[in-house]
Amino acid sequence: MTATLPAPARPRRGRSSTWVGWSFILPNFVGFAALTLVPVIASLALSFLDWDSYSSPRWVGLENFDRMIHNETFWTALKNTTYYAVGHVPLTLCAALGFAVLLNQRLRAVQFFRTALFFPYITSLVAVAVVWNMLLSPEVGPVNQFLRAIGIDSPPGWTTSTTWAMPAVILASVWRDLGYYMILYLAGLQTIPAELYEAAQVDGASGWQRFRHITVPSLRPTTFFVLIMLTISSFKVFDLVQVMTEGGPGRSTLVLSQVIFREGITQGRFGYSSAVSMALFVIVLTITVVQFRWQRRSER
C-alpha cells in the first residue's frame, strides 16, 4: 500500500507536524477527556441543576450558589480548608527542603534515611490515620504521656478538641507528604552545578550564605512546582481528614471536599455538591494563577 503512494516531495511542515504532534498526545488526551474533562464540564452544568442522580434534572439557575453563600457549613468548611492549607503548605515545604538538603550530603546510610522518609507517602492512609489517632489519644496516647512526663499538666486533646484537631491533622499530613516533596527537592539539588559551591567556598562564603544565595535561588523552579502542587493538594484534602477525624469534633476539621462528598454522594444533592466543587475549583484556579503571575514577575 505505502509503496504505491507517491512520496511527498517535501513534507509540508505545518499541518503534518501538527498531526504527528496530536497523534503523540492522543492516547493521553483521550483518557483525560473521557475521565476528567467531560466530568468537569458536566459538573459545571450540574451546578445549575437540581439533580439526585436518579430522577430527571431540573434547571434552578443560581439557586445552588445562593444556598451555598448563605450556608454556614460552607463557610466553616472554607475557613477550615484555608487553615489547613496555611498550615500544611509552608510546613511541608520547609520540612521537605530541610531534609532534602540534609540528605543530599555524603552521609553514611543516606539511602536508608531517604527511604525511611519516603515510607509514609506509600503507606496505606487508613493505617496511618489509625496510628496517629492512637499516638494522639488524649488519655492513653504516647504523645500526651510524654507531655505529662515533662511537666505539662493538661496536654491538648488533639483530635478530640476543637482547637487542636486541625493542628493534629496538619501534623499528620506534613509527616505523610514530606517524603514525596523531599524527593522532588533532591532531584532539584542534583542539578545545581558543584562549581557554584566551590567558587563560593573560595570566596569564603559560610554554609548559611551558600544555602541562602546558591541553593535557594537555584531551586526556584522546583520550589515553584512544589508550591503549586502543595497548594492544590491542600485545598483538595479529603482522605486524611475523613479517616482521621471525619470532620469532627463538631465541624472543626470539616473541609470543602467533605462537604462535596456528603452533599453529593451521601445526600444525593448533586447540583448543590457541584456548585461547591465549582467554588473550590475557582479558588484553586485563582491561587494558582496568582502564583504563576508572581513567579513570572520574580523571574524578570
Residues that bind another protein (CB under 8 A): 52-55, 71-73, 130, 133-134, 136-141, 157-162, 247-251, 262, 265-268
Query: Shortest distance, CB of residue 281 to another protein, whole angstroms?
Result: 22
Helix axes 72-102, 165-190, angle to 10 degrees: 40
Query: Shortest distance, CB of residue 134 to another protein, whole angstroms?
Result: 6
Comparison of 98 and 250: residue with beta carbon closer to another protein: 250
Query: Shortest distance, CB of residue 62 to another protein, whole angstroms?
Result: 20
Among 240, 193, 199, 238, which Cα is nearest to 219's? 193
Query: Shortest distance, CB of residue 227 to another protein, whole angstroms?
Result: 33
- Yes or no: say if 241 and 253 are a contact pair by the CB < 8 Å rule: yes
End-to-end Cα separation, the chain, in angstroms:
54
193: DSSP letter? -
Comparison of 126 and 282: residue with beta carbon closer to another protein: 126
Buried b (16+ CB within 10 A) or exposed e, 145-182: eeeeeeeeeebbbbbbeeebbbbbbbbbbbbbbbbbbb
d(CA 296, CA 157): 44
Comparison of 18 and 163: residue with beta carbon closer to another protein: 163
Comparison of 180 and 272: residue with beta carbon closer to another protein: 272
Comparison of 157 and 179: residue with beta carbon closer to another protein: 157
d(CA 225, CA 101): 17
Query: Shortest distance, CB of residue 129 to another protein, whole angstroms?
Result: 10
